[in-house]
Amino acid sequence: MPDDPDIVIRASGLTKVYRNGPVEVHALRGVDFAAVRGEFVVILGPSGSGKSTFLNILGGLDSASAGRVQFRDHDLTELDERGLTQYRRDHVGFVFQFYNLVPSLTALENVALVTEIARNPMNPADALDLVGLSARQDHFPAQLSGGEQQRVAIARAIAKRPELLFCDEPTGALDSTTGVRVLEALTEVNRAIGATTLVITHNAAIREIADRTLRFADGRIVETTVNTTRKRPDQVSW
């Protein structure tokens, strides 16, 4: 896999140290990782294990203390704030735990918000269709349920056709049934646009729908599991 031309993102020796006064917190201690195009990766691990820091650095929201992150043949660690913004803008989709939709925009407009600044976006209505929300496109976030809001958020994240889709606890605020709908949406768009998808979750049940599961502990990847057969979201529950 190291030289696989399909590798989209690669981290090597990734280290992150936060200084909090005299105390040094090692959030990441030399993480090596690579993911290929279209791969669906679930990241598990207890709070403070470094999984969010890992995702933030890969997503261009935070910088590493040491090590390298490469997106295709670009070295993210060499980019400044402007370069990272451009990277997120062109290549990365994010889904947040609390959806973070803009309350003053309708579902369709929330998606259009991103397509307006993207290079090769989908039609916003198609993106909403992909998550099954065409009928709700003119509703404001306040008129949508939590699960619907999260699906709008997914549509917003993938409408730019990103190579990478990062989701931090996308089902964390949802009940099981709604969570399953959201996971279905995620796997569907993963399949449809071929974005490499990294999903952080506390929910071990979700690993069964992934190609690969990473388990983080104490700033390291302590276990990697490859699923030979992926389950469909409706086959899991919690």
Partner 1 sequence: MVIAPLRRKVLRDLGRLWPQVLAIALVLAAGVATMILGNGAYASLSETRARYYADYRFADVFADLTRAPLALLGDVAAIDGVLQAEARIVKLGRPEFPDMVEPASILLVSLPVNPDAGLNRLHLRQGRLPEPLASDEIVVSEGFAAAHRLQPGTTVPVVMNGKRRDLVVTGIALSPEFIYALGPGEMMPDPRRFGIAWLPRATLEAAYDLDGAFSNLVLRLAPGASETRVIEALDRLTAPYGGLGATGRSEQTSHAFLDAELKQLGAMVKVLPPIFLLVAAMLLHMTLSRLVALEREQIGLLKALGYRPGSIAGHYLEFVLCIAVIGCLIGFVAGAWLGAGMAQLYARFFSFPFLVFTRDPQIYVLAAAITVAAATGGALQTVRAVLRLAPAVAMAPPAPADFRRRTGWAARLVPLRQTGRMIARHLLRWPMRSLSSIMGVAMAVAILVASLWSFGSIDHMIDITFSRAERQDVRIAFVGAEPASAVQDVRRMPGVMAAEPFRVVGARLSHGARSKRLAIEGRPADARLSRALSPDLVPMAMPGAGLILSEALAKALDVARGDLVTVEFLEGRRSLSHLPVSGISVGYVGLGAAMEIGALNRVMGEGALISGVNVSLDPAGQDAFFAAARQAPKTGFMNVTDLTVSRFRQTLAENITVMITVYVTLAGIIAVGVVYNFSRIALSEQGRELASLRVLGFTQAEVSGVILGELAVVVLVAQPLGWLIGHGIGLAMVAAFSSDLYRVPFVMGREVYATASLIVIAAALLSAIAVRGRINRLDMIAVLKTRE
Alpha-carbon distance 49 to 210, whole Å? 20
Among 19, 82, 120, 229, binds partner 1 (CB under 8 A): 82
Q: Return the residue matching tokens 């599961």.
A: 213
Residues 159-188 that bind partner 1 (CB under 8 A): 160, 168-169, 173
State which residue, 133 or 167, has the beta carbon closest to partner 1.
Answer: 167
Position 145 contacts partner 1 (CB under 8 A): no
114 binds partner 1, rule: CB under 8 A: yes
Which C-beta is closer to partner 1: that of 20 or that of 228?
Answer: 20
63 sits near partner 1 (criterion: CB under 8 A) = no
Which residue in 103, 120, 226, 229 binds partner 1 (CB under 8 A)?
103
Nearest Cα to Cα of residue 24 among 65, 54, 77: 65
Question: Contact at 8 Å (CB) between 144 and 181?
Answer: no
Residue 104 found at the interface with partner 1 (CB under 8 A): yes
Nearest-angstrom CA–CA distance, 232 and 224: 20
Interface ranges with partner 1 (CB under 8 A) = 52, 56, 59, 61-62, 81-82, 85-90, 92, 94, 96-98, 100, 102-106, 109-110, 112-114, 116-117, 140-143, 156-157, 160, 168-169, 173
